[in-house]
């Protein structure tokens, strides 16, 4: 079966989830992505073929719908897997005639549903299956029910990639983020304040794309590595935003995870953080 994986979205989150999904199901599909690191060749993905729309292709919903239709016509997939956005990131998959003859599946993570529905016009694809990847908000659960498709809970397998780095300090605290320098600075201040309140002076290791930002002191070790699984596993504490993938990767190590949710256009990190805190309290241990 020839599979096409729709993987549009900013940052590295969608690509990380793509990799985890492919590892979980042992597949190597075709992929549609707009990830800049993939476009520049900095990041390689294990795909049969990578389709990258350019700025003109995604200039409007209509132009992107035409581009996606062309991709489907050229690669002739039997199945389309749609990550995060069931109608496409712009709503371009709504009413797309080329999807009527293709088996469609949807990977559901938390959406800012009120914001996302403003992008939709027309009917969503008919899904043969919906994979629910995490606990969803009440409104999104009701919205999924209306789609009238089988829903299956799925936990992705992230594995452990041992990325070589310099010798790491003992008992280090890790700050990991792929967003803006300003967001990284907020996490840095959060981690420093946490250390001060605890009366400790840990060694800090920071993972983020690009060069080390100016606000980091010389003694803080900075790495531009992806993935950072080995660093996450070795860290005594991990500071991050509340993105889907890092929350999944840390779900079995939540006691050492400190989370600062960040605003996103189509994700609700604050709701995910609320669920994370509730889970910790219900298990008898308060979350930081």
**What are the average pLDDT values for consecutive 10-residue runs of the chain, which has 288 residues?**
94 93 96 93 92 96 98 96 98 96 97 97 96 97 95 90 71 96 98 98 96 95 91 95 96 95 97 93 55
User: Is-contact 48 68, C-beta < 8 A?
Assistant: no
Local structure of 255: helix, strand or coil: helix
What CATH number does residue 127 fall under?
3.40.50
In this prediction, residue 15 carries a pLDDT of: 95
Q: Yes or no: say if 99 and 123 are a contact pair by the CB < 8 Å rule.
A: no
Query: From CA 14, how far away is CA 116, in angstroms rounded?
Result: 16
Distances (CA, A) of 158 to 226, 246, 261: 13, 10, 21
The pTM of the full predicted model, rounded to 2 decimals, is 0.93
Q: What is the pLDDT of residue 165?
A: 60
Give me the domain span that covers residue 138: 3-153
Of the residues 106, 125, 153, the one at which a domain ends: 153
Residues 179 and 118 occupy one common structural domain: no
Are 136 and 185 found together in one domain?
no
Within 10 angstroms of residue 46's Cβ, the number of other Cβ atoms is 12
Q: Are residues 135 and 184 in the same domain?
A: no
Under a CB-based contact definition with an 8 Å cutoff, are residues 246 and 176 in contact? yes
Does one domain contain both 198 and 232?
yes
| 220 falls within a domain | yes
Q: List the structure tokens of 108.
A: 């559901």
């Amino acid at each position: 079966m020839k599979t096409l994986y729709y993987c549009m979205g900013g940052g590295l989150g969608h690509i990380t989830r793509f990799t985890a999904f492919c590892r979980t199901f042992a597949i190597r599909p075709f992929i549609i992505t707009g990830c800049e690191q993939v476009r520049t060749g900095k990041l390689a993905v294990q795909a049969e073929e990578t389709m990258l729309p350019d700025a003109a292709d995604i200039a409007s919903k209509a132009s992107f719908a035409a581009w996606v239709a062309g991709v489907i016509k050229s690669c002739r997939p039997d199945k389309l897997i749609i990550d995060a956005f069931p109608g496409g990131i712009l709503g371009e998959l709504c009413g797309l005639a080329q999807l009527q003859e293709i088996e469609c599946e949807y990977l559901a993570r938390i959406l800012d549903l009120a914001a996302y529905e403003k992008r939709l016009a027309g009917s969503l694809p008919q899904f043969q299956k919906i994979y629910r990847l995490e606990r969803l908000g009440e409104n999104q659960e009701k919205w999924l029910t209306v789609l009238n498709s089988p829903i299956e809970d799925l936990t992705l397998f992230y594995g452990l990639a041992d990325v070589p780095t310099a010798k790491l300090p003992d008992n280090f605290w890790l700050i990991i983020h792929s967003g803006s320098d300003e967001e990284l600075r907020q996490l840095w201040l959060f981690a420093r304040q946490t250390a001060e309140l605890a009366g400790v002076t840990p060694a800090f290791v920071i993972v983020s794309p690009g060069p080390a930002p100016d606000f980091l002191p010389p003694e803080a070790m900075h790495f531009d590595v992806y993935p950072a699984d080995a660093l996450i596993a070795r860290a005594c504490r991990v500071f991050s935003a509340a993105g889907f993938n890092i929350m999944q990767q840390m779900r079995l190590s939540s006691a050492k995870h400190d989370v600062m949710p960040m605003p996103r256009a189509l994700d609700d990190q604050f709701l995910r953080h609320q669920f994370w805190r509730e889970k910790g309290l219900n298990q008898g241990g308060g979350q930081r």
